Structure 1
Amino acid sequence: MDRIHSVAVVGVVVRDDGRVLAARRRDNGRWEPPGGVLESGETFEAGVAREVLEETGVTVAVERLTGVYKNVVRDVVVLAYRCRPVAGDAGPREETSAVAWLTADEARAAMPQAFAARVLDALAGGGGPPASRAHDGSRVIGGAGPPDPPSGEA
């Protein structure tokens, strides 16, 4: 049976001090980088900017694609983009109960591995090719897990 996949986008928003924007979802209480499903006719970059603003109140400049991830249980493909904040005050919104700027180590500790991988891949990317990972909704499956946080980003 053919299954239809959803396409979602995530913004890994990195401040000048290396901290990343994280949002705690109201529906499941998990900390994640902000993101969601693309709307019809929407570009990837426009979707990232919209989702980050809707979930955190932060306006971003989308810089580059840093990873492609597939939830093999829910058939969702996620494109993660590194972004930088340009305006707005971070705070909870309708879909989020809390918003915080986390270090790489704090993101690794607070988020399920599958979501921390998106943050760590964006921080470690260095302009190389995007990461490609599969996960089950919580844990990365097959291959290596997310990289260690970059040195100096405790």
Structure 2
Amino acid sequence: MATTPKHSVSVAGIVVRDDGRVLVIKRDDNGHWEAPGGVLELDESFEDGVRREVLEETGLAVAVERLTGVYKNLTHGIVALVYRCRPAGGEPHVTEEAREIRWITTGDVQRMMTPAFGIRVLDAFEELPQSRVHDGINLM
């Protein structure tokens, strides 16, 4: 009898300032530039998870605006729901999970981020939510 595959559910926040710059972190665990986010806890809504993860990783409170995409890492079985957010309080700063923090332009995305994570930033500027799959690095 086959077992049902298990998936992990993650959330991430694409935090966009009024000037169009996006908040990204250099993750302490892998050194990659990504939007702040992480595993959704069992007892929280998607939006609460986004607010918690962004605050934990950057010190910045955010207002969640809308879902911008759903992404599946086929290699690791991770499904990520990504939301566009705006700053709502505090100042971003380095944390245990983020060794560096920057506000970048959409033009910086391809230079700084892997395709699988950069597309999440770019999709936040699209009108409709996107649905994509990747292998952890590249889109498929």
**TMscore range, shorter length:** over 0.9
| Map of 2:104 onto structure 1 | 102
| Map of 2:56 onto structure 1 | 54
2:35 paired residue among 33, 36, 42: 33
1:12 aligned partner, one-letter code:
I
Query: How many matched pairs?
Result: 138
1:103 aligned partner, one-letter code:
T
Alignment of 1:1-154 (within 5 A): 1-123=3-125, 125-126=126-127, 128=128, 130-141=129-140
* CA apart distance, 1:40: 1.2
* CA apart distance, 1:107: 1.9
Q: CA RMSD in A?
A: 0.8
| Map of 1:148 onto structure 2 | none
1:87 aligned partner, one-letter code:
G
Distance 2:103 2:36 in 1: 12
Distance 2:5 2:97 in 1: 27
SS of residue matched to 1:140:
coil
Give the structure-1-normalised TM-score.
0.88
* CA apart distance, 1:73: 0.2
Structure 1 portions without partners, runs of 5+ = 142-154
Give the structure-2-normalised TM-score.
0.96
* CA apart distance, 1:2: 2.5
Structure 2 portions without partners, runs of 5+ = none
In the TM superposition, what whole-angstrom CA distance separates every residue of 1:93-126 from its partner, at most 9, and x where no partner exists? 0111000000001122101000000000001x22
2:55 aligned partner, one-letter code:
L
State the identity %: 56
